[in-house]
Amino acid sequence: MFGNYLIGLREGLEASLVVCILIAYLVKTDNKSRLTPVWTGVAIAVALSLAFGALLQFGSSTLTFQAQEILGGTLSILSVGLVTWMVFWMRRTARHLKSELQDKLDAALALGSGALVITALFAVGREGLETSLFIWTAVQASGDGLRPLVGALLGLATSVVLGWLFYKGTLRIDLAEFFRWTGAMLVLVAAGVLAYGIHDLQEGDILPGLRNVAFDISDTIPADSWYGTLLKGVFNFQPDPTVIQVIVWLLYLVPVMATFLAPARDRSSATAPQPASQPSAE
């Protein structure tokens, strides 16, 4: 449940910040009359995200067991790729997100209301589709459709409240650090979803080694115990993973986490100073 809460909080806060920036900029530039197209784009993005989630849930229920496993494994791997790209993208652009959105909004204002709808739709819709896909795969991995969904909804609700507080100016935090550490947690959650996706593909006879178990600690950490359920809900922990699952989990988690937590290079420091004996360009 905590893992899905984190997903809802992280993705929802990104979308909330985008909406806050768009609305605040329109208000600041005396374009309150253009708020309706922005809210229209946001509403369409939310509706598309909900429809996408419903399509995944109800569409997969009509498939055979093997087809469900293949679909679930493929979408799990896809969602891990999207989330990995998202956390690195936000780590790189968190400090410049406001100026980038304002530049796009200036261009949309010059083109008309339709461009404002499309700008808001794409800005929020990307987050919504990623959230729907990742939450769906996380729910499938946990095997419990209620608690993960409740956790995700609570995370989204929290993000809406935080977005409103940001807009009112009553809450100020270091967003770069926030996205850095929540991103690290999401990488850990994504590693578990990836391992689950590999297991699905093994059950769908796409990958071999389903019976080749790396270790089995079910007696130490029973799957139906409270701590087993907690580990399963947060990290998609499996007490009897296959060898391929463990290998893929390590091959993803170690390099991705190390790269994500590595200090960002400062472009200004990367430029070597000119020797004092050389004449200045001026």
pLDDT reported for residue 257: 92
Task: State yes or no: pLDDT of 231 exceeds 80.
Answer: no
pLDDT, tens digit, for every residue of 51-95?
A: 887 887 777 777 788 888 888 888 888 888 888 887 887 777 666
pLDDT reported for residue 275: 47
User: Could you tell me the CA-to-CA distances from 242 to 127, 196, 215 in Å, in that order?
Assistant: 32, 10, 8
Within 10 angstroms of residue 51's Cβ, the number of other Cβ atoms is: 11
Within 10 angstroms of residue 203's Cβ, the number of other Cβ atoms is: 17
User: Could you tell me the CA-to-CA distances from 55 to 40, 62, 63, 253 in Å, in that order?
Assistant: 22, 11, 13, 30
Task: State yes or no: pLDDT of 2 exceeds 70.
Answer: no
pLDDT, tens digit, for every residue of 4-33?
A: 677 777 777 777 877 887 787 788 778 777
pTM of the predicted protein model: 0.67
What average pLDDT does the segment 221-247 reach?
Answer: 77
pLDDT reported for residue 218: 82
pLDDT, tens digit, for every residue of 165-221?
A: 877 766 666 666 777 777 888 888 888 888 888 998 999 889 998 889 998 888 888
